């Protein structure tokens, strides 16, 4: 049960800091793509900023809601 509450908090933290997480991962993705392009491998660009922000927010909310549903359904 403690692990499930930790999952809820993790999901809420992701939703709360979705902008910072998305921007960090976009920077990392651009750096990785540049390294691949230097070696002649073409990979797609990073997601656009608004889409990345929305995706991380929805991912955090999904984790929190899924964990809450598991907590609610566990005793039933």
Residue 19 pLDDT: 96
What is the number of alpha carbons within 13 Å of residue 17 lying toward its C-beta? 9
Contact between 59 and 17 (Cβ < 8 Å)? no
Residue 30 pLDDT: 93
Residue 44 pLDDT: 87
Domain locations in the chain as residue ranges: 2-73
Cα-Cα-Cα-Cα torsion 29, 31, 33, 34, nearest 10 degrees, comes to: 160
Q: Is the confidence at residue 76, as pLDDT, over 70?
A: no
pLDDT in tens, 8-67: 999 999 999 999 999 999 999 999 999 999 999 988 888 899 999 999 999 999 999 999
């Amino acid at each position: 049960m403690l692990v499930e509450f930790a999952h809820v908090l993790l999901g809420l933290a992701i939703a709360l800091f979705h902008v910072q997480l998305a921007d960090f991962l976009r920077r990392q993705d651009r750096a990785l793509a540049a390294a691949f392009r230097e070696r002649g491998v073409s990979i797609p660009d990073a997601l656009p900023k608004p889409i990345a922000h929305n995706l991380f927010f929805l991912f955090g909310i999904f984790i929190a809601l899924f964990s809450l549903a598991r907590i609610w359904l566990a005793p039933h």
